[in-house]
Chains A and B, each alone.
Chain A
Amino acid sequence: MTRLDKTISAAATAVPETDTRSGRAERLRALVSSERVPVPALLVLLVIAIVMLVVNPVFLSPGNLRGIAEQSAVPIVVAVGMTFVILMGGIDLSLPGVMAAVSLVTALTLANDRTGLDLGLWSIPLGCAVGAALGLLAGLSVAVLKVPSFIVTIGTWQIGLGIGLLLFGAKPPRILDDGVRQLVNGTVLGVAGAVWIALAVVVLGWLLETPTRFGRYAFVIGGSEEIARLSGVPVRRYRAASFAVAGGTAGLAAVLATLRTGVGDVGMGDSLLFTTIAGIVIGGTLLTGGKGGVVHSVVGVVVIVVISNAMVLGGVSSYIQQAVQGGVVIVAAALSLWRLRARLRVVK
């Protein structure tokens, strides 16, 4: 009894005490714990930048920052679309297959050394449409047939890969249309076109996330699908749409990557699945859904790209790079999710 009294009185006196502390610390804490800004991931970036300042200052040179931006462009485009699927608590593993199909479609419909087709700029929306169609197929299977997205997207991965293999023939088709390639590789204000396109996708994704019903419902569905359904949210429709969006951005990413390397390549998206999903998690978007967002994912992906860039600049031996990268990823993810870990403990 007396102990309880003490605790209550301590709590009562504690309140004015925190109030008297400077408001600045309070505001900082509010910012750090805010879910709108991926603070931990940004801190990781800051730490890497400070370390690199000592190790190799070239890291912060305009040339290298431009390189990082160019290398991030493709995974960022993928991550923006994937974010909506993950926000709703789903997962899209079909990326390598979708990119294989779209890469070949793009290379074969632009002026190339295999077919007589030359759609010029139209092959860009065509690539997005192929990606979105594969995404929609996955989305409808998840929504209507109620198959878990994990399995369905492995299925669409294989379908996409099959389309890619079918179109591949015997050797990779080379793109001969340097005009369209220039759109991605050429620079505007000193920065490659691919970076501007990625920026535009990020802005679009952010506009889709914040004020639209689609974006709002993504959080609601991810937070609790039951509550969303009981409140009359047409969950299935939105879920199917999220896969179409992810497919569309995967398609655009494949177009960009294909224009960047100049050949249609079935293996184009193989390593991207790791980069984007790890990036999304490091950014602070929960794989269980309901928390995170486009900006989080973008920062997370940049962290992953920066890690590999920094290791090359730092001259880390190839033989230990993989292990170092894995370690940094774990530390970064732990930092990003630290806050949630504490919160879960309080709740329980």
Chain B
Amino acid sequence: MTSERTQLKRDLRKAGGRRRLTAILLVLPLFLFLLFSFIIPIADMLRRSVVDNELATAWPNTTAMLQAWDHSSPPDEAMFRALGTDLRASAEVRTIATPARRLNYALENGRSLVMNTGRSLRALEGEPQSWRDTLLKEDPSWGDKKTWIALAQASGPLTDFYLLTALDLERDPEGTIVSRPPQQSLYLDVLLRTGTMSLSVTLLCLVLGFPLAYYVANAPEKTGNLLMILVLLPLWTSLLVRSAAWIVLLQDQGLVNAMLMAVGFSDRPVPLIYNRIGVLIAMVHVQLPFMVLPIIATMKAIPTAYMRAAISLGAHPAIAFVRVYLPQTFPGVAAGTLLVFIMSLGYYVTPALVGGANDQMLAYFIAYYTTSSANWGLAAALGVLLLGATAVLYFVYARLTNLGQVKLG
């Protein structure tokens, strides 16, 4: 009897183990696929925000010398020799552009200093008497401590330079973190703009979406289904189509301006596109369904008995709505609000199409530094900020809503 029982237990455990193994084997293909074409690429990009080996690759001797330097004593002849030979070698094999670009981030005129010196050193035959004199004759700034501090700060292998730049900060020659001069500050503005625009879009979506959600959730079933389709239609319509539609509607000769002038709101066209207003309108239009859907789902699950009870106990319907109904909609409102805010933070296409130069958000600059100006460290650092903000908010969202219950349409 007992032996049969243990046998049965063992069989069940074996079956459970087999099922677990099957489960893991079924999940594995997608996991490996995403590892290759999603997770590792993103991790690799984040790595670039702190890796700093451009100088070390091009000028190995100088980098080795700088690692041993105390950042305060004047550079000696050995350091000048390392720098001189590295400079000349990199000029000869044409790898000098990379260290020149990297030094330009850390030092004003760094690029021209390196390129000009490199050009002269290529013509230099043999070993000079003193590398120090040779370099100082090329450009007296090689004697400045500032130059050597910049070299040391750029010599890697890890750096906080890009992340600090993304926050408009830098290290002064003593190594303390200070604010960048205003003419070199740009990113805090972009971060602030990204934040305020996302917040405006989120609040507008909430104000417009809540009544709509209430109406859809409490409509009779037939009407409700039709209304749902109307809410979902924009979601399925191409983002490009919707941007095109807003450009047509909001242009100076567009329908909206024609109406504004017809009702006497204005006697000339109001600029509504290629500026902040256009971006806000288009983004609210795109994000509205994401606000409405979770709120509808929550409202549909609210039992009607509580409201009826409150009113039968003598509460004014408005009071009952605020005190009894509203609190029950909170999970949906919180989910919709967070979802819209998270998605707005990473916007690229809509501002690029319907915004002006001053309406571009963080995502635009990440793409710009990747493709146009090849400042990959900075692109990665801005990416760290965007992904970090997204991850934190997503974590909050996941705690609020049960992730497994994500509803699509």
Answer whether A and B are interacting partners.
Answer: no
A residues near B (Cβ < 8 Å) are none
